[in-house]
Amino acid sequence: MDFKGLFFSAEGRLNRLSFFLLAISVGVVFSVISIVLNLILPASAAGVVSAVLYVVNTVIGIFLAIKRFHDFDKSGYFMLAFSVIASIIIIAVSLIFLFVLNNETLGLGFATIGAIAVVLYVYLKPGTAGVNKYGNQPAALFDLGLNDNNDTNNPVISE
């Protein structure tokens, strides 16, 4: 796999550390680019470019999350369903607190805790050991899957 495949493909697996470092790196790079462009471009052009960068960052994040779900032997569709269900639960909790209990702040607090729990699940859940239907276990603690090593007899570092 090449770098384009790493960021714009749903093939393969990413372990926890690789996913974390890539997600943080991509976010920082796009943020810095956006800040620099906001300083040198007129406001309207900078807004358009920032919006495009946001969309690209979101697409890359989706592909990275799909690979993360592949690491614990779940499909990319599971990631989509997981995200939709978690969003519905968070919105429902917020609305219950807002309309039933008349406490908007507490509802937003519980919604934030729910969102953090969803993110922590993706970041902290260990991947499946060995080979699964999405490929080999990443061979190193920080393995982007850029080498196409399909030898399943090599020992791997477990997470």
What pLDDT digit, counting tens, does each position of 76-116 carry? 888 888 778 878 877 887 777 777 777 767 767 777 787 78
At 59, is the secondary structure helix, strand, or coil? helix
pLDDT digits (tens, 9 = 90+) for 55-76: 999 899 889 989 988 988 888 8
Q: Residues with Cβ < 8 Å from 38, sequence gap 6 or more?
A: 46, 50
In this structure, what token pair is assigned to residue 78? 């599971």
- 119: phi then psi, degrees, rounded to nearest 5: -65, -45
The domain limits of the chain are 3-124
Q: What is the per-residue burial (b if ≥16 Cβ within 10 Å, else e) of 50-80?
A: beebeeebeebbbbbbbbbbbbbebebeebe
Q: How would residue 159 be classed by pLDDT, with cut points 50, 70 and 90?
A: very low
Please give the model's pTM, rounded to 2 decimal places: 0.74
